[in-house]
Chains A and B, each alone.
Chain A
């Protein structure tokens, strides 16, 4: 008899929604490609890097936080100092 782990229960709950969102991402990227012409834009690089991040195995369950940081501007701890 197979005993379902909590993780499997969550996967059951999330799978169709997860699948749908991944297809949406793939279709949106296809749409951009189909439109034709160059798309030399840093946002495309952000999307590529975020997809790589999501696909990689991670010990910490912090993908959402890391993706958010990838789409963020950096914080400068010296922000109060006059810019040279």
Chain B
């Protein structure tokens, strides 16, 4: 089955893995800007990273027939230094005009601090001014529940936000209903230990239905699996779900969400 991985950090993955993903049916990837495992020391470092996401990584995936799209943003982990963020955010509009740009992401909260909130407000403001879609990172582990609710509070307070153009990501059992009830796209990340497993993601699809749910590997430089989406497909098949439902989650939904971005022009195969 053809599938999208709507959230994967290709910059951290090898060409062998891209080949394997292509063999398993991956046709489109969405790569959000994120934390590289160490804090960058200057805005120029972000500039080079945005070039990597919009120039180099699309060429690497194209070798295997995978279309590459990117989200540009300042990640929550590096959002604590508001003065630094004020130097990085003005770099974004140039890259939002690149042909593979999907919008602003992944942005959000990490430890739910006031400084992170201040940086996030600047990024949301930029998205509103430039009419971009947004992809939100929700915090890890114990911080996820309060952080997700804070992000939803911020978005609810801004009447300009079109919820059909926003994905709240890394949702789990205690946060997915919050995002779905308010009309957002809901991302579930499939991780070996933290976040959700393919089995629990299938549970959430069974409980809430397949509407507006996306699953992704979020595969990066840590423990993660670039073939997590095919693992989800297998779990769903073993439970007897129809191909149409599985395809909706791994292909139709991300296609519909990405299609709202001004640069997205993927044409599904006949």
Residues of A within 8 A of B (CB): 13, 62, 64-65, 68-69, 71-76, 79-80
Contacts and interface: CB of A to CB of B under 8 A. Distances in A.
A75 B149 contact: yes
Contact of B174 (A13, A65, A76, A79): A65
A71 B141 contact: yes
A3 B203 CA distance: 24
B172 interface: yes
B203 A72 contact: no
Residue with the greatest number of chain B CB neighbours at <10 A, chosen from A62, A69, A74, A75: A75
Interface string B20-39: 00000000000000000000
A68 B150 contact: no
Nearest to A82: B114
20 contacts: A13-B239, A62-B173, A64-B173, A64-B203, A65-B173, A68-B145, A68-B172, A68-B173, A68-B175, A69-B145, A71-B142, A72-B142, A72-B144, A73-B143, A73-B145, A74-B146, A75-B145, A75-B150, A76-B146, A79-B150
A68 B148 CA distance: 13
Nearest to A66: B174
A69 B174 CA distance: 6
B146 A72 contact: yes
Contacts of B141: 71
Contacts, number: 38
Interface residues of B, number: 18
Contact of B146 (A62, A65, A75): A75
Given A65-B173, A68-B174, A74-B145, 5 more contacts: A13-B239, A68-B173, A69-B174, A75-B150, A79-B112
B157 to A, nearest CB: 9
B226 to A, nearest CB: 23
A69 B149 CA distance: 13
Q: Which secondary structure dominates chain A's binding surface?
A: loop
A72 B174 contact: yes
B200 interface: yes
A75 B145 CA distance: 7
A83 B174 CA distance: 26
Q: Which of A65, A69, A71, A76 is the most central at the interface, judged by chain B CB atoms within 10 Å of its CB?
A: A65
A3 to B, nearest CB: 18
A65 B145 CA distance: 11
B142 A73 contact: yes
Contacts of A73: 142-143, 145-146
B270 interface: no
B16 interface: no
Contacts of B144: 72
Contacts of B239: 13
Contacts of B142: 71-73
Contacts of A13: 238-239
B172 to A, nearest CB: 6
B94 interface: no
Contacts of B181: none
Given A64-B200, A64-B203, A79-B153, A72 B173 contact: no
